[in-house]
Every structure is written in structure tokens, then in C-alpha cells.
């Protein structure tokens, strides 16, 4: 899985590209160069904890999801003891892909080629006609595992051999979101977006509402663009809250669309946090929206957006998840459109970095964090 990186790439990193005093957007190469993209894969996406889903997707023993991670395919599966495992989707016999579907349930993982069979814990439990092979021991051929961890109900994977424990990585966020009951929430909808823009543009876009009056007229009516107050201003986790007008909700109708997810102290606030490098977490009083970002090339990003609600909300008459989903699908598309416009302009020979406004301190902080990860 190692990516061949040419040594000269080391020269790309210039922390001075974004300093706090003289903050400007990043140079063109960070958005278009395949060498930078390869370096990001190596130094960020093969090193950091990546959001791959929520535990509600694999509630029962044998439930699995298959997630593509940087050209790799990972099986995320729950075993009979309730433990969540991550396995490379690669047979230990002659390497075949094991599971072709995106999700499902199985009693064991059986290879479609010669039927080697693995338990839910990854141990090889069946290998037809291998008994007469000298020195062959099934115990020597478990599935190759990847690091996985669960935080607040969300499943993360890390392809580094010895990553920092997930809990330690997320220490600055410990207990911060407990009111939202995220471990027990249930998904109501997933929408995938294929966006023709560099993944960093979506992080920068998410981190400011300077663009909101023009780009999001509907959002702006319910949540004033200049109401942002950030409490995490530097580092891998960034964001804060914005106000929601009294009695309103971020839905098409403007009304709350479900029972609240927990004991939310202030119903006039929506919280937005970016969690480096691939998670956007949006916490509303009655739902949690989460985006996964998966860079496909310098100019293309797959975005997976999930909406999660309290399990009790689903059985109530006031449950109208589509009211929130429609609102954010519209708002997401408004954002992706300007990200695509940015990509087009940044790729021009006329582009040069422009100055960030005082309302873009979080995008500037995100850029600093990103540049710090490149070797």
C-alpha cells in the first residue's frame, strides 16, 4: 500500500504559505498538483484516524460495511462478542477481494475464489484441500487487520502500523458532545456527492460563513451569517457555534423536524466542527449531520453525508427527517457549487493567493494545520 514519493516533494512544504498575520489562500499547487496529492495520501490519509461510519451501521454480529480508503478496501465488521474489527479486503490465499458488496451481514467471510473462510474475528477457519500442504497452519493466515476505533459512536480507521490511540488523538474533544447522545443515534438518510473540487476547498468552505449571505439565502434567514463564535481556533479540531433564530430550526419549513437528540441546553445554537482530516460534524438540537470526505484526485472528492436522529424520534408523529435532509441537501449543493467554481479559478494561470478576511480565521487555521502535516 506504500505510495512511491519522489524525494523532491519535501521541498513543497512551506509553513510560511499561511502565517497567522498575513493569512492568504494557499498557492495553486496545493489544489492541482498530483505530487502534492500523493504526499497528502502518504502523510495524512495513511497516517491519521479517518472517519469511516457510525456503529449503528453494524449493530449486530456479522454486520459489515466495506469502505474504500485511499485505494484500499477495508471490511469493518462486528464479531460475536460485539467488537468492531477492520480487515483488509484481501484473501490470504491468492489475494482475491473477499466481499464485493458495500454492506451486509455474514456468518463468516468466505472468499468467492477457492472458498477459504474466515471467522468474524479474522481467523482462517476453513481452507479446502490445504491439509496435505506441508507445514500449512490455518493460524498463520488470519486476515490482515487495520486499526479501528470507536469514538462517540463513530467508527474510525487508521492505516498506519502504530498510530496514536484514537482516544488520545481526540482528547481535546472528550465529553464535549455528550449532550447529543451520538453513540445511540440512528441514521435516517445517506447522500453521496461527487464533487469536482479539491477536498481542502470543502474544509475551507465549511469553516466560514463569510459566503453565506450570497450562497445560502435560505440558511442565512434562519441562522445569521455573522453570529459565529468559535471555541476551537487552532489545531486539528476547529469550530464553534452559530445562532439559530428563536423558535426556528434548520429545515425547509423552519420548524423542528424531530424530537431533540438529548438534553440540549440552548436550542438557539448549531455547532459546526471540522475534525482533521476527513470529518465535518454538525450538531443540531434535533439531529446530527456528519460528512466524510474522500479525496479521489487533486480535483475530485467523494463526500458522504449522513443524518442521524434519536432512536425514539423515529416512532413519533412529529418525525419529518426529510425536512432537514432537503434543507441540507440544498445547502450542501450550494456549497459544492462554489467549491467547484473555486477549483476552476484556482487552476487558472491567473490565480494567485488572495487575502483572508477577519471572518476567515478558521480556514486560515485549518490551512496551517494541514501544512504542518506535510513532510
Residues that bind Fe ion (CB under 5 A): 335
Binding ligand FES (rule: CB under 6 A), the pick from 49, 88, 116, 156 is 116
From the list Fe ion, ligand FES, none, which binds 208 (C-beta under 5 to 8 Å, kind-based)?
none
- Kindly tell me the sign of the dihedral angle through the C-alpha atoms of 181, 184, 186, 190: positive
- The answer to the question of residue 74 lying near ligand FES (CB under 6 A) is no
From the list Fe ion, ligand FES, none, which binds 114 (C-beta under 5 to 8 Å, kind-based)?
ligand FES
Q: Which three cell numbers mark 19?
A: 502565517
Segment near ligand FES (CB under 6 A); pick from 106-114, 143-151, 339-347, 351-359: 106-114
Binding ligand FES (rule: CB under 6 A), the pick from 13, 24, 68, 93 is 93
- The answer to the question of residue 218 lying near ligand FES (CB under 6 A) is no
Those residues whose C-beta lies under 8 Å from the C-beta of residue 172, and which sit 6 or more positions away, are: 232, 235, 237
CB-nearer residue toward ligand FES: 94 or 233: 94
CB-nearer residue toward ligand FES: 77 or 155: 77
From the list Fe ion, ligand FES, none, which binds 10 (C-beta under 5 to 8 Å, kind-based)?
none
CB-nearer residue toward ligand FES: 143 or 257: 143
Binding ligand FES (rule: CB under 6 A), the pick from 91, 120, 212, 374 is 91
- The answer to the question of residue 88 lying near ligand FES (CB under 6 A) is no
- The answer to the question of residue 136 lying near ligand FES (CB under 6 A) is no
- The answer to the question of residue 233 lying near ligand FES (CB under 6 A) is no
- The answer to the question of residue 113 lying near ligand FES (CB under 6 A) is yes
Those residues whose C-beta lies under 8 Å from the C-beta of residue 217, and which sit 6 or more positions away, are: none
Binding ligand FES (rule: CB under 6 A), the pick from 47, 114, 196, 337 is 114
- How many residues bind ligand FES, per CB under 6 A? 10
Binding ligand FES (rule: CB under 6 A), the pick from 14, 80, 94, 316 is 94
- The answer to the question of residue 14 lying near ligand FES (CB under 6 A) is no
CB-nearer residue toward ligand FES: 94 or 333: 94
Residues that bind ligand FES (CB under 6 A): 91, 93-96, 111, 113-116
Amino acid at each position: 500500500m506504500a505510495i512511491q514519493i519522489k524525494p523532491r516533494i519535501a521541498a513543497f512544504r512551506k509553513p510560511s504559505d499561511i502565517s497567522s498575520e498575513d493569512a492568504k489562500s494557499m498557492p495553486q499547487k496545493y489544489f492541482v498538483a498530483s505530487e502534492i496529492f500523493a504526499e497528502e495520501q502518504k502523510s495524512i490519509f495513511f497516517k491519521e484516524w479517518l472517519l469511516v461510519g457510525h456503529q449503528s451501521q453494524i449493530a449486530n454480529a456479522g454486520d459489515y460495511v466495506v469502505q474504500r480508503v485511499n485505494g484500499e478496501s477495508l471490511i469493518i465488521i462486528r464479531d460475536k462478542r460485539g467488537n468492531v474489527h477492520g480487515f483488509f479486503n484481501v484473501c490470504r490465499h491468492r489475494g482475491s477481494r473477499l466481499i464485493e458488496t458495500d454492506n451486509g451481514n455474514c456468518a463468516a467471510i468466505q472468499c468467492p475464489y477457492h472458498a477459504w473462510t474466515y471467522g468474524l474475528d479474522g481467523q482462517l477457519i476453513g481452507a479446502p484441500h490445504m491439509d496435505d500442504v506441508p507445514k500449512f497452519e490455518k493460524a498463520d493466515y488470519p486476515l490482515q487487520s487495520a486499526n479501528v476505533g470507536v469514538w462517540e459512536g463513530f467508527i474510525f480507521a487508521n492505516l498506519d502500523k502504530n498510530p496514536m490511540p484514537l482516544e488520545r488523538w481526540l482528547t481535546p474533544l472528550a465529553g464535549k458532545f455528550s449532550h447529543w447522545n451520538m453513540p445511540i443515534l440512528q441514521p435516517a438518510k445517506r447522500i453521496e456527492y461527487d464533487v469536482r473540487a479539491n477536498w481542502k476547498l470543502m474544509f475551507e468552505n465549511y469553516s466560514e460563513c463569510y459566503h453565506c449571505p450570497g450562497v445560502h439565502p435560505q440558511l442565512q434567514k434562519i441562522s445569521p451569517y455573522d453570529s459565529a463564535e468559535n471555541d476551537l481556533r487552532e489545531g486539528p479540531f476547529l469550530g464553534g457555534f452559530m445562532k439559530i433564530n428563536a423558535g426556528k430550526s434548520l429545515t425547509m419549513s423552519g420548524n423542528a423536524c424531530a424530537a431533540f437528540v438529548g438534553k440540549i441546553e440552548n436550542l438557539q445554537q448549531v455547532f459546526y466542527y471540522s475534525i482533521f482530516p476527513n470529518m465535518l460534524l454538525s450538531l443540531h438540537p434535533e439531529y446530527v449531520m456528519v460528512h466524510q470526505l474522500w479525496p479521489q484526485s487533486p480535483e475530485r472528492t467523494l463526500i458522504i453525508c449522513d443524518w442521524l436522529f434519536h432512536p425514539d424520534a423515529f416512532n413519533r408523529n412529529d418525525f419529518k427527517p426529510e425536512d432537514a435532509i432537503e434543507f441540507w441537501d440544498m445547502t450542501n449543493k450550494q456549497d459544492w457549487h462554489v467549491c467547484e467554481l473555486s477549483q476552476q479559478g484556482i487552476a487558472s494561470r491567473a490565480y494567485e493567493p488572495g487575502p483572508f478576511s477577519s471572518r476567515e480565521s478558521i480556514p486560515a487555521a485549518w490551512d496551517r494545520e494541514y501544512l504542518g502535516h506535510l513532510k
